[in-house]
Amino acid sequence: MLALGCLAGCKGPEPGAGPEGIPVGEFASMSGGSASFGQSSHNGTALAIDEINAAGGVLGKQINLITEDDRSVAGEPSTIVHKLISEDHVVAVLGEVASSKSLEAAPICQENHIPMISPASTNAKVTQVGDYIFRVCFIDPFQGKVMAKFALSKGWTKVALLTDVKEDYSVGLADAFQSAFTAGGGAIVKTEEYSTGDKDFSAQLTAIQAANPDAVFVPGYYAEVALIARQARESGITVPLLGGDGWVGESLLKVAGNALDGCFFSNHYSQDDPSPVIQNFVKTYQDKYGEKPDAMAALGYDSAKILADAITRAGTTDEPKLRDAIAATKDFKGVTGDITLDDQRNATKAAVILTIANGGFQFVQRVAP
Amino acid sequence: MFERTKATLVATLAAIFVASRFSSHIGPYYYDIILSIGINIILAVSLNLVNGYTGQFSLGHAGFMSVGAYAAACFTTFGLPVLAFLKPLGSFLSVSIFFGLALFLGGLAAGLAGLLVGIPSLRLKGDYLAIVTLGFGEIIKVVIENVDVLGRSRGFSVAAAYTNLFWVYAMAALTIYVVLNLVNSTYGRGFLTIRDDEIAAEAMGINTTKYKVLAFCLAAAFAGIAGGLYAHDKQFIYPDGFNFLESINIVTMVILGGMGSTWGVVLSASLLTILPVWLRSIADKPEIPHWLTPLLSNLTIPYSLLLILLMLTRPQGLFGGIALKRKKA
Amino acid sequence: MIYFLQQLINGLSLGAIYALIALGYTMVYGVLRFINFAHGDVFMIGAFAGLYIAPLVMKYSNGGPSWPGAFVVLVAAMAICAILGIVIEKLAYRPLRNRPRLTVLITAIGVSLFLENFGQYAFGVDPQYFPSLINNHSIAIPASFGLLSHLRIKVSQVLIFAVTMFLLLFLRFIVTKTKLGMAMRALSVNPVATSLMGVNNDVVISFTFGLGSALAGAAGILISIQQPSVDPLMGLQPGIKAFVAAVLGGIGNIPGAALGGVLLGVIETLFVAYSDQLHISSGYRDAVAFFLLIIILLFKPTGLLGRVEREKV
């Protein structure tokens, strides 16, 4: 029954810039468990598109951003990306933050030769799906190495790991840190796990304290990290906590209070970086959305800007040329750093290490790739 | 509806085969939806065997789906020597047998999991069984999250998308065939008796545990096959994709269709697969007021209200009452 | 030795949290033979009620913590949750009073999902900071206790434990010594006979629900004092764990809920504490809770303190 209905008038994908504008697809978790990240990255992307359109668009046309919500549900990304490609005829797809969702959508984009730019997926496998898949962030192995080197440089040779076992980002970063840290001569004295949504970490923290580490690596997301920091201090753990870009979130410092003072984490950018590009971005974002942009927002912004830049450079939205233009991105001045896409289609750019002091983040150092 | 004979099954399979030859004419978006409908049909019809016909409340069906998905995915990823061995048979036959084996293994693994879960749990009644099945679903998820070779929470990539229209609907047809025949046999009488009054059934000498475990394992096995199909369609599986909410989705399909009506469940599975898609497509239309849009694109609020309303107004679902009229023996 | 003791304290503290929530579950089940799936979400609503009321109350204490202020917030949240519970019962569960249990269970799941998703829609998905209602410092143990002075206990941990014990006794008092309690017990045995005895079942059931929900609300406030991060999905995990705790102790049995909660908390914590020695990753922690559930249901389905009930036909 249904098959017959669909046989009538359904054809393959034909991406195209019509007279109404250039359709660009975005898929993100706007609701559900991962909504905070999806909404952030979407805000950044939307802001970028607005700015581009206000300045005249690309190739003389406005960009029409079509956003679909994958509701943080498995199986949804493939459905909505199919829709974006075959129904909305988008010329490129922006998304997703979560590596698992990117890995679901990537084969579809690759098969249809539609470039996909992920703002924040850090699992190395994402871009390995094919040459149409790009990302504007660094990958887990790099970020893990950054923090491992930093820890070693501070003379911390014994580190405990506290990983979110339910989050692929956390697991990936912890693995990367561990390899780099032990390769550099350090030792992981304790490994503990928790789950997203947990609020009590006293068991793990007491165990970690008993192992007497020089620092604790907590590559999780801000919701749990804030509570972990509080409880760590309450358990008597005085050593610094280390983490990754998942720490960045509005509620991190509000919930943690000063428990995170003196801790360090790697990030894509620093809100306090005096560079005008960044300050301008922070201000416009804050004006529009009423809060400071987190890492996901900044990456969402850069992913859209890089796409627009590539379209301009290619001079067309034709797939192979657009793909090549994206792949050729070099020294793009994004808010998350000077971005060059390497031959693995990952972003080679510096990471920044930030610390927490005086109720905010402070820049510590930049680590080049 | 149709005679439940082998002839009908073969004819149906042939028709599906012919239809699948035209599948390249369907746009990828609709194709994906059609595949999803088929997979959901398998899941809902198999769960209906447990929840609807046998009256046992299982809330962990997605867990069995995940067992089948991972088992099938592991076979196609690590069992490539088998594919190489089959190569001489030609590309079509070797892939078909290879994938068929993968699905079979997925179903077997899930069925075994069903046995493992069912034997201890099925002595429990109603609410307890619901919670225990939920618990098992969570345990399966936690185990996968901690096993390296399965990818933990990073997920498992499946290289080849073997799933196509034929496989999905052939399996769906098979599931419906098996369930309908089972239900209209002496086993079916057993299931229904247990649903209606378990104590009376025991008093009548029916080994209720045996019947309950049978229904449970069979349902789990089909869920495993659905999982295998899913894994080779989406090409990427991860533990959180098979969580409690997914189980609830399948339960909702069974309830809406009417517990105990296989065709009703087929209809409701199709409906509940298409509905979110359709609602999402109209959510951005200008006629829809601004506050309604997020509610339409993320359907969980209307879904939960639907569940409540259904239970209040028509707990037997769309077709529950009709199915109770059985043919005389 | 100190390690073990500290982990024991951690476990007891976690267990007290489970016990607090389990009390509400078990009470509703004991009277109505019904698992209120939405209990964990009422707990969440209680926490959010506290989130919104606290600033209003703290205006009177110049924005700082105060025990009277905390008490006011607690009572207000309990009242709001009680009303919510009564409303849910009236709208969603009462019409299904005579239907099969599965129907009501599904409805309860629906209510739970609705509260969670509506919470995300209304409150936003991000966690929010719960203001400090009391000065939650570590209790200093004098050095004269020797090694024990190294142990860390917080005011909130003692508070939760104390309140749980108090509520346990309070509930037992209500159930065994008051007329309403007698009606509740009678209702759990035979609703029809109870109404024939002149009891207004509707009132008793509403009261039970209200009380259970008030307990959930209290849990929401107390736990948010200890773990000051509230988000719409915060009721999911504690809800399931508390249910396991209630079953462990014997569902329907009030002291059982407390025992089950404490036991679950301690076992879970000690599992994590000694996971290295067991050569099992501490990531299996959640599975431990469900595993315990299955074990108890296999060997003693009525729970540790429950009594076997003969099912009459």
Q: Show which of residues 241-270 on chain B sit within 8 Å of chain A, judged by CB atoms.
A: 241-242, 245-246, 270
Give the structural domain span for A332.
Answer: 14-138+276-349
Round to whole Å and give the CA distance between A216 and A158: 9
Q: Which of A267, A290, A316 is the last residue of a domain?
A: A267
How many distinct structural domains can be found in chain C?
A: 1
Query: Quick check: is C56 in a domain?
Result: yes
- Tokens describing residue A29: 């978790």
State chain B's maximal CA–CA distance in angstroms. 63
pLDDT of residue A7: 37
Same domain, A146 and A262: yes
For residues B2 and C190, the model is more confident at C190
Round to whole Å and give the CA distance between C27 and C297: 19
Q: What is the DSSP letter of C107?
A: H
Any idea which of A300-309, B282-291, C1-10, C258-267 has the lowest mean pLDDT? Answer: B282-291
pLDDT of residue B40: 96
- Tokens describing residue B32: 């994906």
Q: What is the mean pLDDT of residues B253-268?
A: 88
From first to last of its 369 residues, what are the pLDDT tens digits of chain A? 344 333 333 333 446 655 678 999 999 998 777 788 898 899 999 999 999 999 988 988 999 999 998 888 888 899 899 989 988 899 999 989 988 899 999 999 999 999 999 999 988 899 999 999 999 998 888 999 999 999 999 999 999 999 998 888 899 999 999 999 999 999 999 999 999 889 999 999 999 999 999 999 999 998 999 999 999 998 889 999 999 988 987 788 989 988 999 999 998 877 777 888 888 999 999 999 988 888 889 999 999 999 999 999 998 888 899 999 999 998 888 888 888 999 889 998 888 899 999 888 888 888 887
**Measured between beta carbons, which residues in chain C are less than 8 angstroms from residue B142?**
283-284, 286-287
Q: How far apart are the first and last CA of chain B?
A: 17
| Residue C300 CB neighbour total at 10 angstroms | 14
Q: Show which of residues 157-196 on chain A sit within 8 Å of chain C, judged by CB atoms.
A: 163, 165, 190-193, 195
- Partner C contacted by A327 (CB < 8 A): no
Give the structural domain span for B196.
Answer: 6-243
- Global ipTM: 0.89
pLDDT of residue C192: 86
pLDDT of residue C306: 77
Q: How confident is the model at residue B328 (pLDDT cuts 50, 70, 90)?
A: very low
Q: What is the mean pLDDT of residues B50-58?
A: 83
Q: Is A113 left (phi over 0), alpha (psi -120 to 50) or beta?
A: left
- Partner A contacted by B277 (CB < 8 A): yes
Identify the chains in contact with A, defined as 3+ C-beta pairs within 8 A.
B, C
Query: Quick check: is B279 in a domain?
Result: no
**Measured between beta carbons, which residues in chain A are less than 8 angstroms from residue B27?**
6, 10-13, 86-87
Length of chain A: 369
- Partner B contacted by C259 (CB < 8 A): no
pLDDT of residue A47: 95
For residues B229 and B275, the model is more confident at B229
- Partner C contacted by B175 (CB < 8 A): no
CB contact under 8 A, A83 and B153: no
Work out the burial of residue B329: count CB atoms within 10 Å of its CB; fewer than 13 is exposed, 13-18 middle, 19 or more buried: exposed
Any idea which of B146-160, B198-212, C150-164 has the lowest mean pLDDT? Answer: B198-212
Same domain, A58 and A128: yes
- Tokens describing residue B50: 């447990």
pLDDT of residue B200: 82
Least Cα distance to A367 among A153, A157, A178 occurs for A153
**Measured between beta carbons, which residues in chain B are less than 8 angstroms from residue A86?**
27-29
- Partner A contacted by B65 (CB < 8 A): no
CATH number of the domain at A124, please. Answer: 3.40.50.2300
CB contact under 8 A, A39 and C120: no
Round to whole Å and give the CA distance between C227 and A231: 9
| Residue A297 CB neighbour total at 10 angstroms | 30
3-state helix, strand, coil in chain C (%, to 5): 75, 5, 20
Same domain, A67 and A172: no
- pLDDT, tens digit, 9 for 90 and up, residues C83-113: 999 999 999 888 888 777 778 888 998 999 9
Strand positions, DSSP E, A90-186:
93-94, 116-118, 133-135, 158-164
pLDDT of residue B296: 65
Q: Show which of residues 64-103 on chain C sit within 8 Å of chain A, judged by CB atoms.
A: none
CB contact under 8 A, C240 and B139: no
Q: Does B122 score more than 80 pLDDT?
A: no
How many distinct structural domains can be found in chain B?
A: 1
Query: Quick check: is A8 in a domain?
Result: no
pLDDT of residue A354: 93
Query: Quick check: is B253 in a domain?
Result: no
In DSSP terms, C128 is beta-bridged to C230
Least Cα distance to A132 among A345, A361, A339 occurs for A345
Interface test with B, best of C99, C102, C233, C284 (most B CBs within 10 A): C102
Q: Which parts of C152-283 fold into alpha helices (H)?
A: 155-177, 179-189, 191-196, 201-226, 236-249, 254-273, 275-278
- Partner B contacted by C122 (CB < 8 A): no
Q: Which of B19, B22, B155 lies nearest to residue A168, judging by beta carbons?
A: B155
Question: Before A96, cis peptide (omega within 30)?
Answer: yes
How many distinct structural domains can be found in chain A?
A: 2
Query: Quick check: is A324 in a domain?
Result: yes
Shortest Cα–Cα distance, C84 to chain A (Å):
24
For A29, nearest residue in chain C (alpha carbons): C125
Q: Which amino acid is at A53?
A: N
**Measured between beta carbons, which residues in chain C are less than 8 angstroms from residue B127?**
34-35, 101, 105
CB contact under 8 A, B26 and A7: yes
- Tokens describing residue C176: 């065994």
Q: What is the mean pLDDT of residues B86-90?
A: 83
Query: Quick check: is B69 in a domain?
Result: yes
pLDDT of residue B326: 42
Q: Does B266 score more than 70 pLDDT?
A: yes
Please tell me which of A64-68, A169-173, B68-72, C21-25 the model is most confident about, judged by mean pLDDT: B68-72
Q: What is the mean pLDDT of residues B269-280?
A: 86
Q: What is the mean pLDDT of residues B276-286?
A: 75
For C293, nearest residue in chain B (alpha carbons): B132
Q: Which of C95, C116, C297 lies nearest to residue B132, judging by beta carbons?
A: C297
Same domain, A210 and A132: no
Query: Quick check: is C304 in a domain?
Result: no
Shortest Cα–Cα distance, A84 to chain B (Å):
9
Query: Quick check: is C253 in a domain?
Result: no
Q: Does B256 score more than 60 pLDDT?
A: yes
Q: How far apart are the first and last CA of chain C?
A: 54
Q: How confident is the model at residue C120 (pLDDT cuts 50, 70, 90)?
A: confident
Q: What is the DSSP letter of C143?
A: G
Question: Are A107 and B161 within 8 A, CB to CB?
Answer: yes
Shortest Cα–Cα distance, B24 to chain A (Å):
9
- pLDDT, tens digit, 9 for 90 and up, residues C217-227: 999 999 999 88
Q: What is the mean pLDDT of chain C?
A: 87
**Measured between beta carbons, which residues in chain A are less than 8 angstroms from residue B26?**
3, 6-7, 10
**Measured between beta carbons, which residues in chain C are less than 8 angstroms from residue B136?**
290, 294
Give the structural domain span for C46.
Answer: 20-236
Q: What is the mean pLDDT of chain B?
A: 84
Q: How confident is the model at residue B1 (pLDDT cuts 50, 70, 90)?
A: very low
Query: Quick check: is A360 in a domain?
Result: no
Q: Give the torsion through C-alpha atoms of B166, B169, B171, B173, to 10 deg.
A: -130
Calculate the CA A284 to chain-centre distance: 20
User: How far are the Cα atoms of A148, A303, C185 from residue A366, in angstroms, in the given order?
Assistant: 14, 21, 68
Round to whole Å and give the CA distance between A306 and A199: 38
Q: What is the mean pLDDT of residues B213-233?
A: 94
3-state helix, strand, coil in chain B (%, to 5): 80, 0, 20
pLDDT of residue C313: 52
pLDDT of residue C309: 59
Query: Quick check: is C250 in a domain?
Result: no
Q: What is the mean pLDDT of residues C45-57?
A: 93
Query: Quick check: is B320 in a domain?
Result: no
- pLDDT, tens digit, 9 for 90 and up, residues B308-325: 888 888 877 777 664 444
**Measured between beta carbons, which residues in chain C are less than 8 angstroms from residue B201?**
none
Interface test with A, best of B145, B240, B274 (most A CBs within 10 A): B240
Q: Give the SS3 label for residue A208.
A: helix
pTM to 2 decimal places: 0.88
pLDDT of residue A13: 41
- Tokens describing residue B160: 């080849």
Q: Which amino acid is at A345?
A: R
pLDDT of residue A51: 94
Any idea which of B113-122, B154-163, B317-326 has the lowest mean pLDDT? Answer: B317-326
- Partner A contacted by C149 (CB < 8 A): no
pLDDT of residue A160: 96
Round to whole Å and give the CA distance between B170 and B12: 8
- Partner C contacted by B303 (CB < 8 A): yes
**Interacting residues of A366 by C-beta distance below 8 A, sequence separation 6+:** A350, A351, A352, A353
pLDDT of residue A11: 37
Listed as own residue / partner, the contacts of B284-292 with beta carbons closer than 8 Å and 24 or more positions apart are none
- Partner C contacted by A198 (CB < 8 A): yes
Any idea which of A216-230, B24-38, B183-197, B205-219 has the lowest mean pLDDT? Answer: B183-197
Question: Are A311 and A242 within 8 A, CB to CB?
Answer: no
CB contact under 8 A, A203 and C233: no
